[in-house]
Amino acid sequence: MSFGRPLLLIAAVLLSAAAVGAYAMVQRRRTAVLAAAGLGRPSGGRVRRHLPYALFLAALPILLAGLAGPKAEFTVPHAAGTVLLAFDVSNSMTATDVAPNRLAAAKSAAKRFVADQPDAVDVGVIVFGNQAMLTQKPTDDRAATLAAIDRAAAGGGTSLGQAVLVALGAITGQPVSLPRAGAPAPDPGYWPSATVVVFSDGQETGGPDVTAAAELAARAGVRVQTIGVGTARGATVEVDGFQLATALDEKVLTGLAQATGGSYHAAGDPRALAGTTDAIDLRLTMRTEPYALTGPFAGAALLLLTIGGLLGVRWHGRIL
């Protein structure tokens, strides 16, 4: 337990000690006056004489301690899931067959997706071209996630396999790679509370084998949902002075998703996109949360004052 205003605790101790001392002094004087008058000790027994006042005195430090801002930390269960948004930032994502271009359309769809997520889902961001990089670890800070989405810029080739492996690394908390030929497959653990959402045109240009990466994700219980950005008719983009034709490859994206138990969606289908996390099995985690205890302290002090007042009225005909 901690206190926001610890100086009030010192005041509580001093005032309580002063109140007890004052009560004891009053009782001694009262006893002396009665003895001088030859009346002896008042009837009723010690408990009846002192209990109401003892309750009042006990309520004082509790009330002051409540004013000191007591707080306690409790460990509570928390349902949580993880979503990694993986953005294809290859040169082909600058194609304008989707207005204003594929990458901008992907960002817009992703922002709608983030806005629809419940607080229990942490969202992270990965950008991938020839390589992949985690630019925002999973968080419930939606502003940080949206800022990471805005920072994504196009350039380079496309490696869907690398995107999946980096996403698995972010989910498991350790680097994940495909095994060399003949080596046993790695055990990434089981993470059904995580989903990877890939925004891409499917124009794979190299890198780790996407089928093997998908199988590894499936073994980890991680679904990969793919969002196709672009059109089948395609468009041309200029790269280093060359005109390159590029079109949406739905077959690659569909195969990647289905291999993990996920599904393929078009970026223009907001309802399907909003439902991509429906299959997440939220996990129960334990986290520590602070709780203010001013109310319970005040309630305890009020209870003691009430009981003391009732006893005083019943036994002595007065509260004080």
pLDDT digits (tens, 9 = 90+) for 71-105: 888 776 656 789 999 999 999 999 999 889 999 99
How far apart are alpha carbons 265 and 274 in whole angstroms?
A: 10
Number of structural domains (the chain) is 2
Q: Are residues 147 and 258 in the same domain?
A: yes
**Parent domain of 96:** 77-284
List all residues 6 or more positions away from 199 whose beta carbon is below 8 Å from its beta carbon.
85, 86, 87, 88, 106, 109, 110, 227, 229, 267
Q: Are residues 16 and 116 in the same domain?
A: no
Q: Are residues 38 and 111 in the same domain?
A: no
Q: Are residues 277 and 302 in the same domain?
A: no
Q: Are residues 233 and 304 in the same domain?
A: no
CATH number of the domain encompassing residue 186 = 3.40.50.410
What pLDDT shows up at residue 151? 96
- Of 100, 92, 99, 161, the closest CA to residue 126 belongs to 161
Q: Are residues 128 and 203 in the same domain?
A: yes
What pLDDT shows up at residue 265? 87
List all residues 6 or more positions away from 115 whose beta carbon is below 8 Å from its beta carbon.
142
Question: How does pLDDT run along the chain (320 residues), one tens digit per residue?
Answer: 777 777 777 777 787 788 777 777 776 777 676 567 665 555 555 666 677 778 877 887 787 787 777 788 877 665 678 999 999 999 999 999 988 999 999 998 899 888 888 888 899 999 999 999 999 999 999 999 999 999 999 988 899 999 999 999 999 999 999 988 778 878 889 998 899 999 999 999 889 999 999 999 999 999 999 999 999 999 999 888 889 899 999 999 999 999 999 889 887 665 555 555 555 555 555 667 777 878 888 888 888 878 877 877 777 666 66
Average pLDDT of every residue of the chain: 83
Q: Are residues 167 and 192 in the same domain?
A: yes
Q: Are residues 304 and 202 in the same domain?
A: no
pLDDT above 70 covers a percentage of the chain that reads 84
Q: Are residues 268 and 221 in the same domain?
A: yes
- Of 234, 1, 277, the closest CA to residue 113 belongs to 277
Q: Are residues 65 and 81 in the same domain?
A: no
What pLDDT shows up at residue 308? 77
What pLDDT shows up at residue 229? 92
* Tens digits of residue pLDDT in 209-223: 999 999 999 999 999
What pLDDT shows up at residue 286? 60
CB atoms within 10 A of CB 35: 11
Q: Are residues 133 and 115 in the same domain?
A: yes
